[in-house]
Amino acid sequence: TFPYTTLFRSPLLPEKNNIPDIALIVDSSYSMDANLEEGYGPYDTLLRAQFSLLNWIKRTGKTYQMNFSAMNFSNRTNFSGWHPYSELDDVKETLFAYQGGGTTLDPKKVRELYRKRKHPFLAILTSDGAIENYSVAADSLIELVKAGNALSIIHIKEQGMDFHSREFLKKMQDYA
């Protein structure tokens, strides 16, 4: 059902024994609420989940084969660039830069994400789904998938979805 939908699309993942790079795309808008110093709010929970994933990958011993990036969107979209695990602090800096504004995902930055990649990657987008420019954002994410990458959308919302959330997820599901 919509409020907790996970969409996964994987047209051209790397060969069986290869591991895709990871791009973490996070919504840091006002509705995601955060108090990082006190350690509570949806954005804090989101970051804990992202770091749990990174720690799990580290425990597998595969980080030396992978590159990582982060994209943080709200009033503006910040992209960390691609980095090896040894430079993960650059990725973390982008993740920790909570903005607390509107919810706009810049399609130019999404294109930069997949055009600057060295290898196929898995993009994990986590949002409450209220993306104001949902149509062009969805188009750029579909392009990302068509370019040979995988995309997982984790939609978190405590209550019913607004128009933007429904339309964004509908457009993505229509593509899948």
CB 5 within 8 A of CB 169: yes
Q: Which of 68, 73, 74 is nearest to 90 (CA)?
A: 68
124-156 residue pLDDT tens: 999 887 788 988 998 999 999 888 888 888 877
Give the separation between CA 118 and CA 20, rounded to whole angstroms: 10
Mean pLDDT of 6-24: 65
Mean pLDDT of 108-129: 91
The pLDDT mean for the chain works out to 83
pLDDT reported for residue 129: 72
18-66 residue pLDDT tens: 688 999 999 999 888 877 777 777 888 888 889 999 999 999 888 888 9
Provide the token pair at 148.
């040979």
Give the separation between CA 89 and CA 153, rounded to whole angstroms: 24
